[in-house]
């Protein structure tokens, strides 16, 4: 007796089901990266939103700078080293760094960090500008007498936050943070835009609102900015 051959046919792929699976996969990925980028950039967005308002109304926010001045006398050995360094810098017409011993004395005596800062040398004095977020500072050394003058200006918390918003004199670490924050915000915006696309079929106002949000700044810039 001859047995009947058993043949199997592959199951047909349902295009609608496959499309639904792809959509579900993308939704999962987009929601994951959307909340991750939101968590990373949330505090930064709050800070930059607030400082965006304070910067826009900077002229209306009163500030009272607090200026402090300090004087000290540089020890003789350090003064002699500065005099020699200043002479070489002036004669060679080249930049020179603050000697390590003098930089350590400034840090300990005047609480001023001059290591790695640009120094202006002349035959009579040494000047170091020390700008910082929310204020300024400088030190000046009289090479004839060794008298050191230090001045600091503090413009308050709002000025400090405004300068952080602009990245003004905030240093390398803050610059790296701004780059990371910008990438996180970009990822947050792009995943949000893609999620809007995936949900737009059931939300008819999605693209009109997106278009309105894009149109408003364009119209304001064209009509009111000259």
Q: Give Cβ neighbours of residue 187 (< 8 Å, ≥ 6 apart).
A: 33, 37
Query: What pTM does this model have?
Result: 0.78
What does the pLDDT average to over 66-95? 94
Distance CA 212, CA 214 (A): 5
The predicted-structure confidence for 152-205, as pLDDT tens digits, reads as follows 999 999 999 999 999 999 999 999 999 999 999 999 999 999 999 888 888 889
Give, to the nearest 10 degrees, the angle between helix 15-56 and helix 157-166: 130
Give the integer Cα–Cα distance in Å for 58 and 45.
Answer: 19
Cβ–Cβ contacts within 10 Å for residue 87, how many? 13
Q: What tokens does 48 get?
A: 């930059």
């Amino acid at each position: 007796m001859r047995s009947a051959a058993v043949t199997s046919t592959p199951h047909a792929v349902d295009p609608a089901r496959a499309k639904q699976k792809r959509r579900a996969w993308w939704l999962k990925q987009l929601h994951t990266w959307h909340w991750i980028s939101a968590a990373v950039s949330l505090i930064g967005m709050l800070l930059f939103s607030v400082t965006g308002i304070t910067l826009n109304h900077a002229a209306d926010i009163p500030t009272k700078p607090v200026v402090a001045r300090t004087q000290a006398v540089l020890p003789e050995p350090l003064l002699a080293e500065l005099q020699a360094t200043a002479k070489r810098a002036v004669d060679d017409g080249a930049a020179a760094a603050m000697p390590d011993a003098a930089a350590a004395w400034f840090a300990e005596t005047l609480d001023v960090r001059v290591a790695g800062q640009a120094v202006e040398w002349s035959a009579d004095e040494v000047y170091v500008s020390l700008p910082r977020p929310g204020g300024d500072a400088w030190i000046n050394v009289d090479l004839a007498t060794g008298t050191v003058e230090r001045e600091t200006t503090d413009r308050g918390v709002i000025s400090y936050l405004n300068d952080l918003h602009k990245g003004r004199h905030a240093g390398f670490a803050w610059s790296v943070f701004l780059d990371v924050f910008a990438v996180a915000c970009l990822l947050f915006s792009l995943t949000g835009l893609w999620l809007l696309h995936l949900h737009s079929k059931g939300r008819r106002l999605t693209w009109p609102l997106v278009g309105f949000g894009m149109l408003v700044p364009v119209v304001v810039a064209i009509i009111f900015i000259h």
